[in-house]
Every structure is written in structure tokens, then in C-alpha cells.
Amino acid sequence: MKSKAAVLFEVGQKLEVCEVDVADPQPGEVRVRMVAGGVCHSDLHVMTGHLVAPVPAVLGHEGAGVVHDVGAGVTSVKPGDHVIPLWRLSCGECEYCTGGRPALCAIGTEIRWSGRLADGTSRFSLDGRELKHFAGVSTFSNYTVVPEKAILKIPADIPLERAALLGCAVITGVGAVINASQVRPGRTVAVFGTGGVGVNVVQGAVLAGAEKIIAVDLMASRLEEARNFGATHLVNPADGDPVEQIRALTGGRGVDYSFEVIGLPLTMRQSYDCLAKRGVAMIVGITPTTAEVTVSSLSLVYEERVLTGSLYGSAAPKTDIPRLIDLYRAGSLKLDELLTRSYPLEEINEAYADLESGATLRSVVTF
């Protein structure tokens, strides 16, 4: 069938909205009519080449929609069901899947690098030329085909534009706190970068009962957003070394947990330097492929600090996202406040320009 989609033909170019062909779902696959696609930084990293992905490709990895039809053998969803595609495919059987870390499953990595589905082919084409899938989901298409294992059914009463954000920004940010770091009540937290994922780290820290939540960002508007999501202290590096500012706010001690949600070696280093003894620096931001970070090796021993990272909120999305929906219903998870704007698909490049300039916190494109 024909579908409107945003295609990246070459790295360094803008997205082009065109009419592509979407093939029927094969056994074990689901064709989804997307209603909203989330405008996330990771796609921007692919457009600029910071993050390597096969092209030409239909981008988008966050979104929500309605099942249109299903391939043979699909049992967990049926046409009409509301669903979220999960951008990290997992097999459900390997040691990482059964150990509660499905984002680390090898088939997720494979589909991410190949840009093709399980049988080694793509469901997208343009005038007979193959277009790649992005992360196995390609949510910037009115119709997309996704493996059943990467589909989560959600309740039909959650607005799909908001539900879309659960699939990346919310689970990545909240999960980095709850799953990866297991922040305990009364602890201190610093968050470097308070965009769409960063404010979810902030609200994750609120849910975990952190006592002090220090937001760090160069943009005053983003710091104010962080305050709305529960940050107790705001640090702007324009006012001086953020590490010193964080130490001053914690009586010289440093924080128990820091989160880097930008993807820069400098801020990764700062997120490590602002730790208390036994503190944990959790990297969530995506750096260019070749970037490296160095830290004082002696501090690893003498202060028992930890530098590590979290992929996809270190989550088990099929159990964690329904819990997040419960928290949203209970009023404990801010989702309405997160979605600051929606654009028609045709304006997707404007949506990315607004994301880059900080004019939007999190936005979606709609079909």
C-alpha cells in the first residue's frame, strides 16, 4: 500500500516527505497505522551522521498507532488495537531478555545495523528501490511494519499523541533512574541536560524519592521546564563551573547519582567529577560514534565512584510501560506537560529545527 513517510536519503540532508510503498506484513509481523511519531534527538543524530544508520531509510523510533493488519501467526494483537512500537527488538529467550535487560539482546543490535527485518528484507520501497527501516520501527510513516515482538498493546483510552512519548523519552529517562541506578529515597541527584529525556530523568528522581534534584542546562527555558518536572535546584554552567556549583549545593560532598543526557565528553566528565564517594554517573546521552571519555583512574579506587550507562532505560518495556501508564493515570507521571507541540508530518524539518533551538521540549508529528 502507499504511505506518506519521512525519508533520509543521505546523511547531512534534511528529511524528505514522500509517498512510499509499504509491503504486507510477513509471518510474525504487524502493520501499524501510525497516529503520532515522536521527535527525538536520536533521529537528528542519524541525520547529522553522529549516529551511524543504514540509508536511505524511513526514520522515527518513537510513536503510537493502531494495528491495521497482521501477518500469519500473530496472536498478541489484532486490527484496531492501540499499540506502541518498541525500538529495541528483543528475542525473549537469551540471557539478557530473561535477565530483565531486553535492550541488550543481540537481535535488537542486528536489526538496528541492518535496517532490515528478520528475513533480511525491507517492507519499504520507493519506485522499486529499497528503503531501510530505522531501529526496526520507522515511526515517521503513516503505515509501518514492525515485528510482533517489538509491539506493545496499550489501553485504548490513553491519547495516542501522549502515549507515543512513553516509547522512548519517558521510558529512557525514568528507567535510567528506577532500573539502571535504583536511586534510593533521600539521595541527591544531578541531571546534565534537561530536554525531553532529561526532564524524565528529573521526574524519575521525584518518583524514586530523591531529596535534592539538581538540573544543569545552558538554556534558562529548559531549567524552568526541569523545575516544573520536580528539580529542586537549577545550575546554569554560564554562571560558572557546574561541578563547583553542584559541590556548593551539597556542602562540598557531591551528589550520589548524576545523569548525563546530552552526549558530550565534557559533560560526561563533569557528571563524574560532581559525584560523592561511591557515587554513580549514569550516561544516557548519545555521543558521536568515535567519542571517548577519560576520568581519573585513582578516583575509581580511592572514592569507589562508578561510571556506567543506560540503554533504553535499562527497561523491560512490556512490563515497565504499563506501570508508567498506571502512574500517569494516578497523576504521578507528567505526560501532558511533556508534549509541547504537534506538527503535521510535512513540517517535520521545522519540528527538528524547533527541537534543536529549544523551542519545544517534546513534540510529535501527526498523520
Candidates 11, 66, 91, 118; binder of Zn ion (CB under 5 A) is 91
- What whole-number distance in Å separates Cα of residue 190 and Cα of residue 262? 13
Buried b or exposed e, range 66-82, using 16+ CB within 10 angstroms = ebbbbbeebeebeeebb
Q: Which position among 40, 97, 105, 274 bears the catalytic label?
A: 40
- What whole-number distance in Å separates Cα of residue 31 and Cα of residue 26? 9
Count the alpha carbons within 13 Å of 49 in the hemisphere toward its beta carbon.
5
Given the complex with Zn ion, which of 90 and 245 has the nearer CB atom? 90
Active site residue 61: yes
Q: Of the ranges 7-15, 97-105, 182-190, 264-272, which one interacts with Zn ion (CB under 5 A)? A: 97-105
Give me the least distance between CB of 107 and Zn ion, in Å please.
6
For Cα atoms 6, 9, 10, give the angle at the middle one, nearest 5 degrees: 130
Given the complex with Zn ion, which of 63 and 254 has the nearer CB atom? 63
By the rule CB under 5 A, 168 interacts with Zn ion:
yes
Candidates 5, 34, 40, 355; binder of Zn ion (CB under 5 A) is 40
By the rule CB under 5 A, 118 interacts with Zn ion:
no
By the rule CB under 5 A, 44 interacts with Zn ion:
no
Give me the least distance between CB of 312 and Zn ion, in Å please.
9
By the rule CB under 5 A, 94 interacts with Zn ion:
yes
The total of other beta-carbon atoms located within 10 Å of residue 114's CB is 15
Q: Of the ranges 10-18, 22-30, 65-73, 85-93, which one interacts with Zn ion (CB under 5 A)? A: 85-93
Identity of residue 259: F
- What whole-number distance in Å separates Cα of residue 320 and Cα of residue 116? 27
Given the complex with Zn ion, which of 99 and 209 has the nearer CB atom? 99
Q: Which position among 41, 45, 82, 133 bears the catalytic label?
A: 45
Active site residue 45: yes
Active site residue 40: yes
Question: Cα separations (Å) of 331 from 126, 231, 336, 363?
Answer: 44, 17, 10, 21
Given the complex with Zn ion, which of 42 and 194 has the nearer CB atom? 42
Strand order in the sheet with 188-192: 233-235, 212-216, 188-192, 255-260, 275-283, 306-309
Given the complex with Zn ion, which of 61 and 68 has the nearer CB atom? 61
Stated as kind and residue range, the H or E segment containing 258 is strand 255-260
The backbone torsions φ and ψ at residue 287, rounded to the nearest 5 degrees and listed phi first, read -90, 165
Give me the least distance between CB of 357 and Zn ion, in Å please.
18
Give me the least distance between CB of 132 and Zn ion, in Å please.
18
Active site residue 168: yes
Give contact residues for Zn ion (rule: CB under 5 A).
Answer: 40, 42, 90-91, 94, 97, 105, 168
For the annotated catalytic residues, the residue numbers are 40, 42, 45, 61, 168
